[in-house]
Amino acid sequence: MGDRLAAQSDVGLDEALLRLVIDEHARGALPRLEKLWTYYRNPLEPIAPASDPWARPASWYRQGQEVGLPPRQRPRDGDDRGGPRRETVIENDIAWRIHTMVDFLFGRPIAILSTAADAELRERIDRALDAAWSAWGGVALLQDAALLGHVYGSVDFVLRLDAAQLRRGEAEDAVRRGTRLEVVDPTRGIPLLDPGDYRRVAAYLIHYRRQVNRVESDAPSFLRRRAARRATEEVSEVFTPARRRLSIDGRRVDDEPLALLGGRLPIVHVQNLSQPFVYTGLSDVEPLVPLQDELNTRLSDRAARVTFQSFKMYLAKGLDGFEKSFVGPGQIWSTDNPDAQIQAFGGDAHSPSEDRHVDEIREALDKISSVPPIAAGVVRAKIGNLSSANALRITLLGLTSKTQRKRITYGRGVEEVSRLLLTALDSAGVLKTDEGDRGVRIEWPDPLPVDRNQETLAAARKIELGVPRTRVLGELGYAPDEQGRID
């Protein structure tokens, strides 16, 4: 442990503090983050062999969101041993809303353009940035980062640089070989903040366990085949403005200086929704958890009611041996007792208060998330006439407003990553730039369907205003040929 978390003298960190930070993260932040992921993903936990011919269709698994059901609806202890399970209905109203928000934010590729004053330099920077983001994964990488940010409330980027590869060849080739952008979720990334400024990260720790391709077993040799398991190792990676140190299971395996970023950490923090005076952002899953529990509870109650009341039951009075009689269509019973009677009871009954309560829960989920069902393609009669694009935009005003807020936070992260890359390229001598030349702007696509006729008219007006013709045609989806022409 002493070698793995050796003192970071350049920022005043010692082994005891780093160990404490890891323990605090494991005890405090990690359980909460895992719960948020469980409510988003709602994973299935097998509790019986799926190949068991006697297993009922819903008896082999338990769902993640069942943890939020009240005790009266949770499966009994005997369920894992094959006993009857109680009626539980889980309708994951969180996942599709998160996916819709990610689609509105990064459903289509964005354009990252340099703001340098010199036209030739601006073109070279655009080519380098385009090569870098394409090599890192492009919009797919941004979608992964946005998904983690929406669930956890924030996400981090780590820019990894290979100085030797960066100094070879042109800028486009150098960034493909010598750079890599990694997405780090809050379950692994632990920031050590400046006590005087919560926005400044003094050091950054990536800590996790991973499986390796090695068998590990402490069982006797005659039980080793059955008790064998994959070995795991503990990885700790500490970033400071001056160095990067990597340790695995207490052994220092890498220690390198970070000389290409001019004393900056290769870490870019992105808040999902900004939260004042707090380093982490706001999660889109967290406010939906109580309503999701209430929805699952009421749906499970309704399923139990329907199960018990779907079939009529009969109470016979004055009929001897009725318990042995067959009940079915066309069945006739006879008796000499004039006071005999058969009373039917049970059967499903309409419950307007229950239906209204479930509808109100769904409407509350819509309001809190700002994602109505129509955003996912579910059209209901009560939404009114959507014959025009403006009517659709008004219906989705809450979602588009929230998307605009997220474009600020995620866009700032994309801009900062691009600045770090240009700083590294300048330090490596591949693409010389000044601090003022490293600014970028982002062009966001419209997340809503666009009328092609109106889009074409808008493109023609852009050309009349002096926007380069190739850029306008590129926005319309027309790619240039090898000679750079668009026919």
Cα(212)–Cα(224) distance, integer angstroms:
18
Residue type, 12: G
Give every CB contact of residue 252 below 8 A, 6+ residues apart in sequence: 3, 4, 6, 245, 246
Phi/psi at 351 (5° precision): -130, 85
pLDDT for 426: 92
Confidence band (pLDDT; 50, 70, 90) for 195? confident
Cα(439)–Cα(460) distance, integer angstroms:
28
Q: pLDDT over 70 for what percent of the chain?
A: 84
- Cβ pair 448, 404 in contact under 8 A: no
Residue type, 306: V
CA distance from start to end of the chain: 64
For 307-349, write each residue's pLDDT tens digit: 777 677 778 888 877 777 777 777 777 788 888 888 877 666 6
Confidence band (pLDDT; 50, 70, 90) for 462? confident
Residue type, 298: R
What is the average pLDDT across 12-28?
A: 86
pLDDT for 25: 94
Q: How many CA atoms lie within 13 A of 351 on its CB side?
A: 16
> Between residues 422 and 18, which one has the greater pLDDT?
422
What is the average pLDDT across 32-60?
A: 76
Cα(266)–Cα(260) distance, integer angstroms:
10
Cβ-based burial of 446 (10 A; exposed 0-12, middle 13-18, buried ≥19): exposed
CA 376 to chain centre: 17
Cα(352)–Cα(113) distance, integer angstroms:
56
- Cβ pair 270, 408 in contact under 8 A: no
What is the average pLDDT across 352-363?
A: 90
- Cβ pair 179, 159 in contact under 8 A: yes
For 133-144, write each residue's pLDDT tens digit: 999 999 999 999
Cα(24)–Cα(294) distance, integer angstroms:
31
Highest mean pLDDT among 271-280, 367-376, 446-455: 271-280
For 237-256, write each residue's pLDDT tens digit: 999 988 899 988 878 888 88
Confidence band (pLDDT; 50, 70, 90) for 480? low
Q: What is the pTM of this model?
A: 0.83
For the chain, how long is the longest CA-to-CA vector?
A: 109
Confidence band (pLDDT; 50, 70, 90) for 437? very high
Tokens of 312: 């009529």
Q: What DSSP designation does 317 have?
A: E
